[in-house]
Amino acid sequence: MISVVSESRFPELKINLEESQDRTKRMEEAANTVKEKKQKTFCINVKPWMEQYGVQVLRDLTQGMLLADYQQIRFPKKEREPLQIELTGVEEAFRKEAESFVQEGEILAESICFVRDLVNLPANYLRPADFVNRVTEWMEGTGVEIECLDKTELKKQGLNALLAVGESSEFPPYLMILRYRNCPESKELLGLAGKGVTCDTGGYCLKSPSSMMGMKGDMAGGAAVAGAIYALAKNKVKTNVTGFIPLCENRVSPGGLLPGDVITAYGGKTIEVVNTDAEGRLILADAVAYGAKKEKVTKIVDIATLTGAVVRALGFGTAGVLASDDEMWNLLERAAECSGEWFWRLPITREYEKRIESDIADVKNSGGAECGAITAGLFIRLFTEQIPWLHLDIAGTAWVEHPIFSYQTKYATGFGVTTLYELAKKCI
């Protein structure tokens, strides 16, 4: 809990203040204070920070401190001791605005920590239905409308790509839809589609044991969508957003998807499956097509732990991006400037598009090892109905063995929540 007070009885700590710090660095300095001092109760004089960066800096400091204090889920459960921080040095004329920025930072941090919890959970604690139940319970009282398409409804509506992957497991698939409406005067409706594979073995194109260990977090994109929409609703942001989270497991089973199979996705496009471990793009194909065709979103962003190729190219601090046009890329750049998260735009050329052409279907689900991050995104683009689109590959940034930034902790990072939140604020 962080509060703005006139005076504090708590011991005072100082956050290192330097000139010309960007948001990432400001959050890191706040996080360093929490990690180095290891105190749970203290106060901070924020007057020097506000004088240099304005009252909005309180959101950065709040978020940095709270994220640094995140405590890993333990089995058996271990109670978490929360921070109690008081902020001093705020003039009365700025108090209301300061409290607003602190609240925004607290809600964003809560959202990111919830996402970290989901991603860190073992797969046997987070089946697709468990994801639905946890997110539904968390969203209570926010005003977010929730619809869940179960296996029967998925078949009825023709979301066959999601079914093709999800039917490999005894734990059935779902499409979770989250609707947040708070700007009726705007015609803009942003769609956010997040990959929700709660367990990924690779299917018949089986993963190695070492790479399978981290696959409990293959739903980080879906969790980020839920986290961003929760933060938008709690902060009552003026925008309109619909989230699409295709949820399933990718297992080996007698009736599972096989290399060489051809499936018909939502909307009628046919897909030659050449790699059952390229399942994330299959379920996202149905999700983005459903968003464009059925829900009539005006822009769409997909976010997924999609490829090892993006990790090899960009590492663990920067996510790879494909954009339908410069306008969408510029929108993301502005959002990232506010979020402090790092992105790099990848090129789109005819060479890459040709790699996913199929001899027997409309498209194949893998273009091979070369330029794999790009061809994976281009596959999803084919199902967007040509509306403005962004593809965020967070395979490297969603999970870290060794934190890149000091406000991160080992394993799940909650990457993408703040950027999606900022994108939605700008899409009105």
Say what percent of the chain tops pLDDT 90. Answer: 93
- d(C-alpha 71, C-alpha 190), whole Å: 32
Q: Report the pLDDT value the prediction gives residue 213, as an integer from 0 to 100.
A: 75
Residues 231-278: tens digit of each pLDDT? 999 999 999 999 999 999 999 999 999 999 999 999 999 999 999 999
Is residue 381 flagged as an active site residue?
no
- Is pLDDT of 34 > 80? yes
331: confidence class by pLDDT, cuts 50, 70, 90: very high
Mean of pLDDT over the chain? 96
pLDDT in tens, 287-311: 999 999 999 999 999 999 999 999 9
Give backbone dihedrals phi and psi of 169, rounded to 5 degrees, phi first. -120, 150
Provide the pLDDT confidence category of residue 347 given band limits of 50, 70 and 90. very high
The token duo for 273 is: 């499956």
Region 355-366 average pLDDT: 98
pLDDT for the residue numbered 209: 83
| Residue of 99 and 78 predicted with greater confidence | 99
User: 135: which residues sit within 8 A by CB, 6+ positions away?
Assistant: 146, 176, 178, 226, 245
Residue 147 β-bridge partners: 177
Residue 19 has pLDDT above 90, yes or no: no
Ranges 19-33, 319-333, 372-386, 388-402: which has the least confidence? 19-33
Predicted pLDDT of residue 211: 80
Of 159-163, 178-182, 213-217, minimum mean pLDDT range:
213-217
CA–CA distance, 26 with 29 (Å, rounded to integer): 5
CA distance 317 to 405: 8
At residue 70 the predicted structure's pLDDT band, cuts being 50, 70 and 90, is: very high
Among 281, 299, 355, 364, which one carries the catalytic annotation? Answer: 281
CB 251 within 8 A of CB 205: no
Q: Does 207 participate in catalysis according to the annotation? A: yes
- How confident is residue 74, by pLDDT bands cut at 50, 70 and 90? confident
Q: Residue 397 carries which side chain, given as an amino acid letter?
A: T
pLDDT value of residue 87 = 98
d(CA 244, CA 225) in angstroms, rounded, equals 8
pLDDT for the residue numbered 21: 84
Both structure tokens of 255: 């009736």
Determine the average pLDDT of the residues in 142-146: 98
φ/ψ of residue 407, rounded to 5: -85, 0
Give the position of tokens 């066959």.
160
Looking at the chain, which residues constitute the CATH 3.40.220.10 domain(s)? 2-114
Residue range(s) occupied by CATH 3.40.630.10 in the chain: 122-426
Query: How far is Cα 252 from Cα 258, in angstroms, rounded to an integer?
Result: 10
**Cα dihedral angle (341, 54, 235, 301), rounded to 10 degrees?**
-30
Q: Which of 35, 95, 181, 207 is labelled catalytic?
A: 207
Tell me the CATH number for domain 122-426: 3.40.630.10
Per CATH, is 2-114 categorized as 3.40.50.300?
no
Distance between CA atoms of residues 170 and 283, nearest Å: 17
The model's confidence at residue 210, banded by pLDDT at 50, 70 and 90, is: confident
HSE of 326, CA atoms in CB hemisphere, 13 A: 0
Tell me what the mean pLDDT of segment 61-81 comes to. 92
